[in-house]
Amino acid sequence: AIDFTSVTTVGSFTNTVNGKSVVAQGEVKSLSESVTVPAGTFQVYRTLVTRQDGTTTESWINKANAIMVKQVDVTSKGTQTTVMTSLQ
């Protein structure tokens, strides 16, 4: 089982960009870095998606199994951070 928790630091995420299709560009920001979340410390690669409407999604993906361990979504409504809390 994999558990995640999300923390919205500003605003509300009802009907956010994640529910729409918008033009986007993605890039790999790092091929190898370490990130620590409540589920542990992982070797990850980091990606960044920038959308035409100015929103972004940055993801830290576990190199061992391709599971996302952390994600930060930034929109005009605020910032939402999702992190893995357990991996069993």
Residue-wise pLDDT tens digits, 32-65: 999 999 999 999 999 999 988 899 999 999 999 9
Q: Are the C-beta atoms of residues 22 and 54 closer than 8 Å to each other?
A: no
Which has the closest alpha carbon to 7: 51, 38, 52, 50?
Answer: 38
For position 31, what pLDDT does the model report? Answer: 94
Q: The whole model's pTM is what?
A: 0.78
Percentage of the residues of the chain whose pLDDT score is greater than 70: 76
Count of C-beta atoms within a 10 Å radius of residue 47: 17
pLDDT at 3: 61
